[in-house]
Structure formats: C-alpha cells, structure tokens
C-alpha cells in the first residue's frame, strides 16, 4: 500500500517530492463543503474533493467559476443546425435539383425536421465528448486511486485532497490543518 504512517516516514526531500498530497475523510457532503471552504479561506488552492454524490457548490468553494459546458453545447448545436440546413439546401437547389409536384427547390419548411434533429445530435455529442475531454477521461490511472480508503469515495465517504503542488503545502502543517482545523478523520498521504 502507498500509505506511510507518519512515524516511519523518512523525511528527506526525495520523499517529499514523491508525495501527491494528503487526503482527509468526511462523513457527509455538508462536512466536506464546510472543510473545503475553510481550506480555501486558509489560502489553499491546489486541492480537489472526491464524493459519491455531487455536492452543490463544492467546485465553487474551491474557487472554480462555472463551466464552459453550456457554451460547448451551444456551439455544437449551432454547428449541427447549420450542417443540416446546408446539406439540404445545397443538395436540393444545386447538386441535385429535382422538380417534385412543382414545389420550390429551396422548400425550407420541409427541411426543419432534419435541421432540428441534427442540432440535437451535434449538441448532445459535443456535450458528452466535451465533458469527457475537459475532465481528462478516459484516464488509465490517477495518483488519488492509491490513497488508502479512497474506494469509498464512490460509495459513502467524502474526501478532501490538498495537493503537494500547493504553494502553502507543508507536509506537517497541512496534516495538522486537516486534522485539527478541518476535523477530518483518517488523514492519509498519497504518493505519486
């Protein structure tokens, strides 16, 4: 296992570099949210929280403002709609004009269903791919998976991980902060 009990951990610099961060465990989403807010107020920025259910306001508490998802979906939808319209207009008026019952070649009201369907299709596909891309998924491995007990982050426990990349990081200070100020249980070290 990757967890080093504190009293056995050799405290030289190479060991320090190999640490990804420290995780603290919480029993509920509310406790995690409160801890995250406190950590942000204390000046920590490089951190992430792991929870089995989405917790409202958690990403915002870590200083994350909104997501670009609506914009991505909008762009996908507009692209899809334009594609649908252009495909039909181009083929019906230029590439293969065909007189059917004297209808105009550019009979745009009849193009609406396909324009709508392609709008939805492109918007949905770009939304899902965009979400996975921004999240860096699929991903083979992540250091957090080595943390002891983290498997409960998808079941019934809530974790806050303060990462060693944070400017305020200090192995002992951060541990004390998690244990005494945030009242996290089971503070463990995560190796890279």
Partner 1 sequence: MGTPLSPLGYPDEMVGPGQTLESVSAKIGDIVLKGQHPKSWWLGFGIAFALLMLFLMSVTWLLYRGVGIWGINIPVAWGFAIINFVWWIGIGHAGTFISAILLLVFQKWRNSINRFTEAMTLFAVACAGMFPLLHLGRPWVFYWIMPYPNTMGLWPQWRSPLVWDLFAVSTYLTVSLLFWYVGLIPDLATLRDRSTQRWQQVLFGIGALGWRGSAVHWQRYKMTYLLLAGLAAPLVLSVHSVVSFDFSVALTPGWHSTIFPPFFVAGAIYSGFAMVLNIIIPVRRIYGLQAFITARTLNNMANVMLVVGLIVTYGYATEAFMGWFSGDQYERYLIYNRAMGPYAWSYWALMLCNVVVPQALWSRRVRMNPVLLFIVALFINVGMWLERFTIVIISLHRDFVPARWGMYSPTFWDYATFAGTLGLFFTLLFLFIRFLPMISMTEVRELVEEGASKPDTGPELPPVFSQLTNRP
Q: What is the DSSP letter of 87?
A: H
Residues 124-163 as x/- pattern, contact with partner 1 by CB under 8 A: xx-xx-xxx-xx-xxxxxx-xx----xxxxxxx-------
Q: Which is nearer to partner 1, 12 or 139 (CB)?
A: 139
3-state secondary structure of 105: coil
Quick one: DSSP state of residue 50? E
Cβ neighbours of residue 166 closer than 8 Å, sequence gap 6 or more: 44, 45, 46, 47, 174
CB of 76 to partner 1, least distance (A): 10
Inter-residue contact 29 to 131 (CB < 8 Å): no
Q: Map the footprint of partner 1 across residues 45-74, applying CB under 8 A.
A: 48-55, 58-60, 62, 64, 67, 69-70, 73
Comparing CA positions, the residue from 181, 172, 165 lying closest to residue 44 is: 165
* 36: Cα separation from own chain's centroid: 16
Q: Which is nearer to partner 1, 6 or 128 (CB)?
A: 128
- Binding interface with partner 1 (CB under 8 A): 28-29, 36, 48-55, 58-60, 62, 64, 67, 69-70, 73, 77, 87-88, 91-92, 95-96, 98, 100, 103, 107, 110-111, 113-114, 116-118, 120-121, 123-125, 127-128, 130-132, 134-135, 137-142, 144-145, 150-156
């Amino acid at each position: 296992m990757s967890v080093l009990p504190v009293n056995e951990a050799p405290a030289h610099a190479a060991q320090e570099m190999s640490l990804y961060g420290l995780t603290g465990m919480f029993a509920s989403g509310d406790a995690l949210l409160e801890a995250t807010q406190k950590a942000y107020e204390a000046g920590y920025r490089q951190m992430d929280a792991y929870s089995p259910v989405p917790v409202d306001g958690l990403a915002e508490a870590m200083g994350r403002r909104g997501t670009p998802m609506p914009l991505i979906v909008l762009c996908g939808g507009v692209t899809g709609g334009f594609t649908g319209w252009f495909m039909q207009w181009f083929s019906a008026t230029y590439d293969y004009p065909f007189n059917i019952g004297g209808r105009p070649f550019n009979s745009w009201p009849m193009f609406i269903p396909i324009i709508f369907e392609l709008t939805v299709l492109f918007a949905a596909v770009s939304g899902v791919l965009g979400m996975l891309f921004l999240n860096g998924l699929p991903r083979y491995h992540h250091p957090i998976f080595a943390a002891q007990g983290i498997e409960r982050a998808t079941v019934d426990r809530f974790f806050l991980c303060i990462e060693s990349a944070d400017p305020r990081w200090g192995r002992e200070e951060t541990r004390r902060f998690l244990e005494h100020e945030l009242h996290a249980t089971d503070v463990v070290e995560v190796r890279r």
